[in-house]
Amino acid sequence: MASKLTDAKIKGLKAPASGQVEHADSDVPGLRVRIGASGVKTFILRKRIAGKLRNITLGRYDERRFGLAAARRKARVLVSDIEAGKPLDKATVPTNAAPTIRSLMPAYLASKSHLRSYREIERIAKCHILPALGDRIADAVTRGEVTAFVDGIEAPTMARAVHAQLSAFYSWAMPRLDALPANPCRDAGRPAKPRSRDRVLTDAELAALWRYAGTEAAPWGPGFRLLILTGKRREELFQANWSEFDLEAGEWRIPPDRVKNDTTDIVPLSAPALAILKALPRKGAKLFPTRTKARAEDAGPSGYSKALDRFRAEVDKALGRAPLTGKDRWSYHDIRRTLGSGLQRLGVRFEVTEAVLNHTSGSRGGVAGVYQRHDWKAEKRAALEDWGRFVLRLARPKSKPHARKSE
């Protein structure tokens, strides 16, 4: 039964557990507000046309952009056109033209497709921005909502990256949004720059991580062991293609478009790394192909955070300690830092360590980098072989002393 709708009533509508519920307006016959399980509220006009009831979508409810008064005006215009005999396909069907962040995002990403950082921009959009804000009308998002959204991201570095990408999106969108007074990210709270981490895995943690990784199947078990042995970044490894590997030559060539400093990274493969790679099954182009049917066949694995949490828990368990929290927990990048620190412990020259990590700072930065063209390939191979042997010795189960026989 129709009742008089008000904006207050519409704002207070509760989402059903499933399906959709409609609430009719007594002021404009046929006007209804529909609310689904997601909580999204949409105005529709139900009108009999040529003997058949038709549902015509007027637009999504938004208190600022498209409230009840605006929906009533537009519904009356449409009813007048239809009753005057104007065909529906030629009637002016009023819509809430305000675009959502989700509807604008494809064009924004297309504008960034030429950038080397495109993959990271796309990943942040799909993994963080769209799930949280995708269905919001773009010019209705406030700086308070941006602040709350970014504050909810646990990792400080990622929170800053998400804030930066959302701000870049709004800078691009501003000319396309007439009602947007300013970039809502401009005055929103921005996470402070995190302090540089110096966390490395202890020998006990490294040994426990290596041993547990040997119990897990691909991608995570072999993946974590290869991270330990090569010191490569997470995405560099888990998004790698088989075409980058020459197992006979014992080399992995990471192309410039997948490397942070835009140069081919030649990674010598130690004996333990080669053994892991040769044992992996080949199922498509990816070294570690996705196991999710909904994703593209040429995609790498997903679920990095869950895998990291599981491996952390197993390392804590193996060491018989309470789970570490906050900054005490180790991360993917800390594995890379552990290799760099470990090579220094083994007496590897600083320049070689920098080359292994493919850093362009330090000994390879500035003027030195212009004139320093040696690729350190032989030295890198020797360093990684030494590191591989060190890791295997470290993770080898300690033999128990035998009891002496009584004479």
345-358: pLDDT as tens digits? 999 999 999 999 99
pLDDT for the residue numbered 367: 40
Q: CB atoms < 10 A from the CB of 236, how many? A: 21
pLDDT for the residue numbered 373: 54
Is the per-residue pLDDT at 315 higher than 90? Answer: yes
Is the per-residue pLDDT at 303 higher than 80? Answer: yes
pLDDT for the residue numbered 276: 98
Cis previous bond, 219, omega within 30? yes
Q: CB atoms < 10 A from the CB of 116, how many? A: 12
Tokens of 372: 């320093």
Amino acid at 286: K
| Confidence band of 297 (pLDDT split at 50, 70, 90) | low
pLDDT: which is higher, 97 or 20 = 20
C-alpha gyration radius of the chain: 29
Is the per-residue pLDDT at 49 higher than 90? Answer: no
d(CA 83, CA 118): 51
Q: CB atoms < 10 A from the CB of 199, how many? A: 13
Q: Which single residue is written with the structure tokens 């500035």? A: 366
pLDDT: which is higher, 379 or 369 = 379
3-state secondary structure 364-379: HCHHHHHHCCCCCHHH
Give the C-alpha distances (Å, rounded to integers) separating 247 from 41, 237, 242, 269. 57, 15, 10, 8
pLDDT tens-place string over residues 131-188 = 888 878 788 788 888 998 888 886 778 889 999 999 999 999 988 887 778 899 988 8
Is the per-residue pLDDT at 105 higher than 90? Answer: yes
End-to-end CA distance of the chain: 100
Amino acid at 69: A
Is the per-residue pLDDT at 25 higher than 80? Answer: yes
